[in-house]
Structure 1
Amino acid sequence: MRIPHTINKVTYDLYKPSLESLNLKDEVGRQLRVEDYMWDVELFPTLAHLCLRILLDKFQERQYLNRLPCKDVDFLFEHLPTTLPMELTIPLIPDGIYWKRSYLARWTDFNEMLRMDRMNWKVAYIERHMQDFFENIQPEYYVDADFQHFWLLVRPYVKRLVIRQLLQEKLRAAEEDTRKLIHHIDFSLILKHFHNVTELDLIFGPRNIKENFRFEYFELSIDDIKHLASGINCMPNMQIFRLHRSKLYDEHVQAIVQAFVKHNKTLLEMDFSHCKIGNKGAYYFAELIRKHPTLNKLILCNNLITQEGILSITFVLQSTETCPLKHLDLRLNPLGPEGFKTIFSCLIRNEVRPNELVVADVGFTETEAIIFGDVILPLNKSLEYVDISNNACGIEGGKAIARGLERNTQILYMDYRACGFDGTSKYTIKKLLHRNNCLKHKRVFNEDDVEEEDEVEIKSLEDVTVVEDELDEEEEEEQSNDDDY
C-alpha cells in the first residue's frame, strides 16, 4: 500500500504492534491485519499503477496533470526525477513534495532547513539555484540575452537573493604579471530583472581558492559598485541590504547610499559589517539617516570609523526629522574614548533613538564607563538594549553602571561580558535588569529569582592555572568518593 507524503511516517510506527502483542494466542492465526501496510508488496501492480509508471518515463514529452485524479498527481510528484529541467517544472508543478525532494537532493544545509519550515519549497529551491548560478558564473561568459526567458520564469519566485562569493574575470596570460583591477559580473544587467526582491545579501570575493590566491581577487572596482547601484535603482521593494566581508572603501559607499536615497522608500535594514569604511563613509551613512524615511537598523561592525566619523552620525540622530533608526551597531570600530563621549552627547539630547546600541570593543576606558553609569543612564530614556562587552570598564566602572541602572527603568538587556566588573556589580546589574523586565511585562518582581554568579577573579595566566588545578582536584575527589561507594 502506498503511503502518501501527507501522512507522517511516525504515524505508522505509533500504530505498529509490539513483539509481545504479536505473540499473543489470538494473534497467531489472524489473517486480516489492518495495521500491516505492506500487505500488497508481493502482489502484481495494477493497470493504473503501470500507466502511471509510463507517464513518469514520458513526462518530458507529454504531461497529463490536468486529466488525472489528485491521488495519481501526488504519486507523480512523489516519484518524478529531480533532474527535470526547470523550464518544464516551474510552470507545471506547484509547491509541494516535488520541490522538497529536489531541494534535499541537492543541498543539506541544516541552518537553511530550519528556515524552510516557514516558507514554501518551490521558492526555496529557485532562490538557492539562483545563488549557485551567481556564485559560480564567470563574468566574461555571461550574455544577458541568453537568459531572458529563464529570468521571466524565476522572477516571480525570487524574493531573497543571497550570494556568498563573486568570481572575477579571468586574467589573460599577458596580464598575469600586472596589478590590473579585475571586474566582477555586471549587476546592472541582472538586478533589473528582479523587481520583487526584498532582501539582497552580497559578498565580493572568492572562496576556497587555495594555491591560486591573489590579492587582486578581493579588490573592488568603482565600475562594480556603479553597476550594483544601477541595479538597486531597479529594485524599489528592497527592505534588507547586506554588503559585508568585502574590501569596500569610502568611495564605494557613496554610490550605493545615493541609490537608496533617490530610488528606495522601503529599506529597513542595512549591513556593511567587516569592510574598510572610514570617516568619510560614515558621513554618507549620516546623509542616509537624515534623508531615508524608513531605515531602522544600521550595522557598521568592524570598520575603520573613528571619533570624526561617529560625530556626523550622532549629529544627525539628534534631529527629529530623520529616519526611525532603532538599532545602531558600531562594535569593533576604533572609536576610542573621544568617540564614546560623542555618543554620550547624543544619548543625552535624544530621547527617541536609538533603542538598541552595540558598542562592544570600541576602546573606551573606566573613565567613560563611570560617566556612562552616573550621567547617561539616569538621563537617557530611549535605550532598551546595550552591548558594552569587551571594553576595559574596570571595577569602578561596573559600580557606576550599577548605580545608574538603579535610576533607569528602560534598559531591558545589557551585555557586560569581559568588562572587568566584580561579582557584586554583576549581580546588582542582573537584578536591576530583571526588575526592568518585570515592570515592562507587568510581572511581580522577586529578588530571589536572580541567581548570583560565581565570580572568580583572574588577573594573570597563573590564576587560570590555579583555577584549573582546583577544578581537577575536585573532580578527582568526586571520582574517589564514587569508587568508595
Structure 2
Amino acid sequence: MAIPPPSKMAGSNPAANTRRMRRIISEDPEWSLTIVPRLTELCLQHIVSNFENNPILTQLLPDQQRRVLDRLSTNLPLKVVANLITDESYWRRRCNQRWAVGHVEKYGNNWKRMFFERHLEELLKLFIPGTTDPNVILDLVPLCQDYVIRLRVDQFLPPVKLEQPIQEMDQSDSASENELDELNMDHYQLGDLVAGLRRLEELDLVFGMKDCGMNFEWNLFLFTNRDCQSLAATIKACHTLKIFRLTRSKVDDEKARILIRSLLDHPALLELDLSHNNIGDRGVRAAAKLINHSQLKILNLANNKIRALGAQALAHALSYNTTLLSLNLRLNCIEDEGGQALAHALQNNSTLTNLHLGGNELSEPTATLFSQVLSVNTTLTCINLSCNHIGLDGGKQLLEGMSDNKTLMEFDLRMSEIGQESEYLIGVALNANQEAARLRTLQPTCCHVTVSHIINNAAG
C-alpha cells in the first residue's frame, strides 16, 4: 500500500503543517541542532570544572593539555597551579588579569617569573609586623623559589603604633631619643624568605612608607638597628646575590659599615648601590675596603655626605683595584682635595670605565690633574664633571688633555663654567673618538655595522 505524501496526510493545509512543527519543538525545550559532544570533550570539560580538587594535566596528550589550559580559571589557588603549570600563555592570562600594565621584557620575557616576583613584592609591601601572619609569605616560598630572581620592595610598613602607658613613658625618660624612636619599629625580617629563594640575584630595597598622607611621622622612614643587623646576616648568607641596592633609607656610617662588613669576600656580588642615604667618610672607608675584597664592578654612593677623606680612601683603593668598572659619587662634597686624590689614582688604575663626580664642589685644580689623566688613561670611556666650578682655565686644560685621548666617548661638562669654545672643541674631540671606535668595529667584518651614539656637547 502506497504511503501518501505529507501534504496529503495533513490534508493539504499548510497552516496545519506549521502548527505540527511548532508543537513538536515546544514539547522538547532542550532540543537543538547541535551535535552531541564527543566523550573526550565531555571529559575535558569535567577536568576543567574540577581542576582545583583533582588537577589532572600531565596525564593528558599535548593537544588535550592545551585545551584544558586555555579554559582554566585564572583564580585557581597558587598551591594548585604553581608547581604544575609551566605554560606561559596561562601565566600571561593571570598577569593581564592582575595588573593593567606589565613589562614582561623586564622579567626575561618570562610571564611566570613576572607573576611571582610582583605577587611576592606586593605581599612584602603590605606586610605589617605583629599583625600580618608571617606564613602568608613563607607559605609562598616552596611555590616561587625557582622563579624569583629579583625583588624590588620600595616600602616596608612598621608595626601598628600602640599608645604607650603613662607609667612606661615616665620610666623611659632616661632613654635616648633615638632609642625611643626605634622602640617597636622593626620591619619585616627578610632572612627566612631570602634563604628559601635559591635563584635570587637582585635585592632592591627602600625602608620607608609610601602615601602616608596626613599620618606622616619620621619614624615611618626609620631603618632600625635590628633591621640593619638582620639584613646584614641575610645578604651575607645569600651566596647567589649579584646586585644589592638599599636607597633612601637613612643609612648612616655605622649601619653602612655593618652592611658592608657582611659583604666582604662575597662570592657573587657585582653591584652595590647605597645612594641617597646619610653615609659619611667612615662609611666610605668600609666601601673602599670592600672594593678590594670582592668582585665588585659597580659602586654607587651618590647623594650622601662624603667629603675629602672619604674620597681619598676610595682613591687609595682604586690605585690597586683591578675589578671596579663604575664609580658614582654624584652630589657629595669631596672638593678639590678629594678630586685630586681620585685623579692621581686614575693615572694608575686600568679598569675603571665610568666615573661620575657631578655636583662635588670641584674647581680648576681638579681639572688640571684630570687633564693629565686624559693624557695617560686608556680605559675611561665616560666622565661626568657637570655642576662643578671648573672655570675657563680649567676647561682649556681639559681640552688640552683631550688632544691626546683616543678612548673617552662621553664627557659631561654641563654647568661647569668652562665656556662655549672649550665645550665645543671637546665635543669635536669626542666625536672623533666615537667615529674611530665605529670604524674599528667595521674592520673584522663588513656584515655587521655598529653605530655608536654620538653625544653632542657643542654649545647651542
1:48-94 C-alpha deviation (Å, 9 max, x unpaired): 55543433222112222134332332232223221111111111111
2:14 is matched with which residue? none
Q: In 2, are the aligned partners of 1:195 and 1:234 still within 8 Å (CA)?
A: no
1:125 is matched with which residue? 115
Tell me the distance in 1 between the aligned counterparts of 2:454 and 2:314. 37
The 1:304/1:454 distance shift into structure 2, 3 A limit, reads closer
Find the partner of 1:252 among 249, 252, 255: 255
2:246 is matched with which residue? 243
Matches of residues 69-80 of structure 1 in structure 2 within 5 Å?
69-80=61-72
- Matched AA of 1:365: S
Q: In 2, are the aligned partners of 1:99 and 1:121 still within 8 Å (CA)?
A: yes
Secondary structure in 1 aligned to 2:299? Answer: strand
1:23 is matched with which residue? none
TM-score by length of 1: 0.77
Q: In 1, are the aligned partners of 2:104 and 2:111 still within 8 Å (CA)?
A: no
Q: In 2, are the aligned partners of 1:144 and 1:189 still within 8 Å (CA)?
A: no
The 1:438/1:59 distance shift into structure 2, 3 A limit, reads same
Secondary structure in 2 aligned to 1:173? Answer: coil
Q: Percent same amino acid among aligned pairs?
A: 27
Residue 355, structure 1, aligned to residue 353, structure 2: yes
Bigger proportion of residues as helix: 1
Residue 410, structure 1, aligned to residue 407, structure 2: yes
Q: In 2, are the aligned partners of 1:237 and 1:266 still within 8 Å (CA)?
A: yes
Tell me the distance in 1 between the aligned counterparts of 2:219 and 2:201. 31
TM-score by length of 2: 0.81
Q: In the TM superposition, what is the alpha-carbon distance from 1:370 to its structure 2 partner?
A: 4.1
Structure whose CA Rg is larger: 2
Residue 162, structure 1, aligned to residue 152, structure 2: yes
Matches of residues 189-338 of structure 1 in structure 2 within 5 Å?
189-261=192-264, 264-292=266-294, 294-319=295-320, 322=321, 324-338=323-337
Q: In 1, are the aligned partners of 2:300 and 2:329 still within 8 Å (CA)?
A: yes
Matches of residues 101-180 of structure 1 in structure 2 within 5 Å?
101-110=93-102, 112-116=103-107, 118-141=108-131, 148-174=138-164, 179-180=180-181
Q: Quote the RMSD (CA, aligned, Å).
A: 2.7
The 1:132/1:402 distance shift into structure 2, 3 A limit, reads same
Residue 52, structure 1, aligned to residue 53, structure 2: no
- Matched AA of 1:386: I
Runs of 5+ consecutive residues of structure 2 not aligned to the other structure: 1-32, 170-176, 443-452
The 1:75/1:370 distance shift into structure 2, 3 A limit, reads same
Q: In the TM superposition, what is the alpha-carbon distance from 1:408 to its structure 2 partner?
A: 0.9
Secondary structure in 1 aligned to 2:109? Answer: coil
Aligned residues: 404
Tell me the distance in 2 between the aligned counterparts of 1:71 and 1:175. 67
Secondary structure in 2 aligned to 1:91? Answer: coil
1:329-387 C-alpha deviation (Å, 9 max, x unpaired): 00011112222122122122x131322111111111244334423x3321333312111
Tell me the distance in 2 between the aligned counterparts of 1:357 and 1:420. 20
Q: In 2, are the aligned partners of 1:95 and 1:121 still within 8 Å (CA)?
A: no
Residue 342, structure 1, aligned to residue 341, structure 2: yes
- Matched AA of 2:342: I
